[in-house]
A and B are shown apart, each in its own frame.
Chain A
Amino acid sequence: MDMTWDEASDTLREWRGMSVRDSEQVVELGERLVRDYSSKLQDELWLVCEQVFIASLDTGRFDLANLCLDKLKEKFPKSSRVMKLDAMGMEAEGRFDDALNVYDELEKLDQTDAAIRKRKIAVFKSQGYTSLAIKHLTIYLQSFMADQEAWMELADLYVKEMDYKKAAFCVEELILSNAFNHLYHQRYAEIMYTIGGQENLETARRYFAQAVKLSSNTNIRALYGLMLTSGSSTQSRGDTKARNSKQYANWAGKMVLSKYKNVWSEGGTVDETKFLPKITPESDLPQLTASVSQMLGQISLSDASS
């Protein structure tokens, strides 16, 4: 770890802004800051303490967690934000009833505190009580209906329970407030595809197409989805709509193929001199493109039979 203390502090600030959950790295960078550079951080120390505290809970570093919590308790003795962190510590230790008691107390102090209500839902989720988590999250959203993170969480919970129609409803709410976010359109399309049926496949196709458009053709999942849905919706129909569908499928497939090939083009970003542990070896490329071609072939075949 070669970063200077202020580089580390900058990185942690960036991660706070983006809500990154990379707890191992946060602990690696933050421990040094909290132990050795607390005077240099000045007021930012408290935000770093909070961030490192949560990351320590994630990685089982209870020693570091206690260190951060002690510093925070000393500085902010009566803070409900610190009490919430204390309760999160109890959650991490599996003391869910104690944590819930603290949250109940905090809720009495401030009924409008959304974070506390969400922590209670998190406790239910941690214990595996998914239905209870869903019930309370639904009640929460009746009051805090602009909370997009909560709608996404509810959608995820419903998908986990395989209650796809309700998951679709949640993503619809997200699309209403963020019509230009291609990820929501793609997620909606995936859910509709999973529900199945001719009408839903057609809906899925339209939303995958929208996701492709909004992402300027970069959303690979949407491109694949467009290939899948366009291909399957052409069964035994010789009319214009079916021909168009097949064209969309072919176009999407060709986009995917060209992207795979571009990974290795002269203008590409692969630098052979650097050790890049994850990069696709060139030898694996033909198989990837072959299977995409195979998928395209299957789409053409199904149409040819009609």
Chain B
Amino acid sequence: MGGNSPCASCKLLRRRCAKDCVFAPYFPSDDPHKFAIVHKVFGASNVSKMLQELSVHQRADAVSSLVYEANARMRDPVYGCVGAISYLQNQVSQLQMQLAVAQAEILCIQMQNEPVMPTPQMDPEDDKSFLLQNNLPQYLNFASSSNVIHDSLKRESIFGDIVS
């Protein structure tokens, strides 16, 4: 059979593409840019070590994520993927705030709904409604309570310690 066409990695590295080349399944010769960018950011030797430390069924995903990170780093040489993480964390925070406001609004509406009845029987000496009205601002402040998203994001805060 004719010679196998070297994979994109071996073409770039100008070496013989072995049968068991670790790069070949993930860097086909028809997409030279993919390996070029990964090589530029991580280096072929490091990529090879990383892939060899993974089981075979994990390598395709690892290559995809390395390519993604390399592309991000080329687009933004200062922040790379961290720029995207920062932006997304900001979005999550904004959504959490909007959700807290909406949940507080529901509480307000529910509390306003309670005293409304077709045959009102409001006891003037009953200070329950008075207490509710006075507590409304506190409920609004209390609306920013703990949130599962916020707690999990604490682990991923940028430049903070990553939980091992």
Verify that A and B bind, or say they do not.
no
Binding site for A on B (CB under 8 A): none
